[in-house]
């Protein structure tokens, strides 16, 4: 009985809690990608680096506030800086649309041209971030580190396994939940949100009903920038900020968006969690878990790890391949499959 409890705590500690918070971060990222897919109809390669951009500015504001002596007590100061980071990123995204993407939209270029343009934006954003903050790792989390500490949990419960809950993990789940609720409220209830959905469903019909496409696109970029910054800051608080890591997040984020069905916000969220859980579960060594669960003489000798952490990208990739082979429309049937 104690062994079973220990095994459950072990799973919670090393798989379920980390995967949930990572899943929420991916879901926010995938929401941004899927919105651009749905409204502007291209795969945005710059999304990972937009996340890095937003996070970088949030870090700058965090440093500034720390310098001024402002803080949120137990919560990280970055939360206070977040709105400012979002504002700068939104401004950046909208001006990138003005300078880069709008031209191709007016010319009605093929989606792949827009994707290549987004590669250019990625290049510029990526180098700008490296230019400003360098390539090193930055940790900007302050305030109280843990809500539940492993040692205290052990003392309280008498189990040999400790349970810890980082403030950033809880924060990720709460903030992501609030953001998603706000987004869905916006898409379902407001005039602008309805206009966006109409535009995504059928561009020409939406134009005929008097929806201003430029406004829809602008709002889309603002929301995308906000989601990207949010995802980036939460990821950075939880782990750390490193520009190249954010570029690499592109693959799991796209896998999540495609798995959920391109252009489908609900699917993007589901996709984010599926990808995160698969990644964590496949790369977790089950040795200790099986030790608790199996009779003593059957203990495994190896680490019982399906894949080493070095290959975590392979998990996203395998999910992606499986979706493309079995159901290219994704779980929730996104609409656009063929070019």
Partner 1 sequence: MSQSLRPILLFSAMAIALLAVGFGQGWSVMLVILNLCLISAVMSVGLNMQWGYAGLFNAGVMAFVAVGGMVAVLISEPPVRAGWEAGGLRIGIAGLLVAVFIGLIYAVRRFVSTKWIKNWGTAALLVAGYFIIRPVFEGGVTAVESIAAASAGNLGGLGLNILVSWGVAAVVCVGVAWVIGRIALGLRADYLAIATLGISEIVVAVAKNEEWMTRGVKNITSLKRAPVPRETNLQQAEWFQNLVSGVTGLDPTDADFKLRVIEFSSIFVKLCFTFLFAAVLAIVLFLAIRALNSPWGRMMRAIRDNDVAASAMGKNVVKRHREVFIVGAAILGVSGAMLTTLDGQFTPTGYQPLRYTFLIWVMVIVGGSGNNLGAVLGGFVIWFFWIEAEVAAQWLSVNVERLLLPYLDVVIINIGDVVLNVQDGVVWLKNAAPHFRYLLMGLVLLLALRFSPRGLIPEAGAARAH
269 binds partner 1 (CB under 8 A): no
196 binds partner 1 (CB under 8 A): no
| 64-93 residues near partner 1, rule: CB under 8 A | 64, 66-69
Cα–Cα distance for residue pair 28/82, rounded to 1 Å: 15
Is the Cβ of residue 14 or residue 42 nearer to partner 1 in the bound state?
42
- To partner 1, the closest distance from the beta carbon of 45 in angstroms equals 7
DSSP 3-state of 172? helix
Is the Cβ of residue 91 or residue 99 nearer to partner 1 in the bound state?
99
Range 6-10, long-range pairs (CB < 8 A, 24+ positions): 6/159, 6/160, 6/161, 6/292, 7/289, 7/292, 7/293, 9/153, 9/157, 9/159, 9/161, 9/162, 9/163, 10/161, 10/288, 10/289, 10/292
Is the Cβ of residue 48 or residue 236 nearer to partner 1 in the bound state?
48
190 binds partner 1 (CB under 8 A): no
138 binds partner 1 (CB under 8 A): no
Kindly list the distances between the CA atom of residue 53 and the CA atoms of 48, 237, 242, in Å, as whole numbers in the listed order.
9, 15, 11
Cα–Cα distance for residue pair 99/20, rounded to 1 Å: 37
Report DSSP letters for 43-100, one per residue. Answer: --TTHHHHHHHHHHHHHHHHHHHHHHT--BTTB-THHHHHHHHHHHHHHHHHHHIIII
128 binds partner 1 (CB under 8 A): yes
Residues that bind partner 1 (rule: CB under 8 A) add up to a total of 59
DSSP 3-state of 241? strand
Is the Cβ of residue 175 or residue 253 nearer to partner 1 in the bound state?
253
Contact with partner 1 (CB under 8 A) among 112, 174, 178, 294:
112
331 binds partner 1 (CB under 8 A): no
106 binds partner 1 (CB under 8 A): no
Identify which range of 18-26, 111-119, 193-201, 281-289 contacts partner 1 by CB under 8 A: 111-119
Cα–Cα distance for residue pair 47/251, rounded to 1 Å: 11
Interface pattern 28-67 for partner 1 (x via CB under 8 A): --------------xx-x-----------------xx-xx
Cα–Cα distance for residue pair 115/94, rounded to 1 Å: 17
**Positions in the binding site for partner 1 (CB under 8 A):** 42-43, 45, 63-64, 66-69, 100, 103, 107, 109-113, 115-117, 119-128, 130-132, 134, 247-248, 250-251, 254-255, 258, 262, 306, 308, 310-311, 313-314, 316-317, 320-321, 324-325, 328, 336-339
């Amino acid at each position: 009985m104690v062994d079973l409890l220990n095994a459950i705590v072990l799973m919670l500690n090393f798989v379920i809690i980390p995967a949930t918070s990572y899943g929420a971060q991916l879901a926010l990222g995938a929401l941004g990608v899927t919105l651009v897919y749905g409204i502007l109809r291209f795969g945005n390669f710059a999304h990972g680096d937009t996340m890095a951009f937003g996070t970088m500015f949030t870090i700058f504001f965090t440093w500034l506030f720390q310098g001024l002596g402002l803080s949120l007590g137990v919560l990280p100061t970055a939360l206070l800086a977040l709105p400012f980071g979002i504002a700068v990123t939104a401004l950046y995204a909208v001006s990138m649309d003005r300078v880069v993407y709008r031209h191709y939209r007016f010319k009605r270029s093929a989606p792949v041209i827009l994707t290549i343009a987004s590669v250019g934006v990625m290049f510029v954003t990526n180098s700008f971030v490296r230019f400003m903050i360098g390539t090193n790792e930055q940790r900007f989390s302050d305030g109280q580190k843990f809500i539940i500490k492993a040692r205290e949990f052990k003392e309280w419960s008498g189990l040999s396994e400790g349970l810890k809950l980082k403030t950033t993990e809880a924060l990720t789940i709460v903030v992501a939940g609030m953001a998603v609720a706000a987004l869905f409220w916006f898409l379902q209830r407001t005039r602008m949100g309805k206009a966006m959905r109409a535009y995504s469903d059928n561009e020409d019909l939406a134009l005929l009903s008097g929806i201003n496409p430029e406004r829809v696109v602008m709002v889309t970029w603002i929301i995308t920038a906000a989601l990207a910054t949010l995802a980036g800051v939460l990821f950075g608080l939880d782990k750390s900020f490193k520009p190249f890591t954010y570029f690499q997040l592109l693959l799991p984020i796209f896998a999540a968006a495609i798995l959920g069905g391109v252009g489908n916000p609900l699917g993007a969220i589901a996709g984010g969690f599926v990808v995160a859980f698969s990644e964590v579960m496949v790369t977790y060594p089950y040795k200790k878990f099986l030790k608790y669960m199996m009779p003593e003489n059957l203990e495994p000798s190896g680490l019982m790890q399906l894949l080493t952490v070095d290959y975590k990208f392979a998990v996203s990739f395998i999910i992606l391949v499986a979706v493309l082979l079995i159901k290219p429309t994704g779980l929730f049937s996104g609409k656009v499959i063929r070019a």
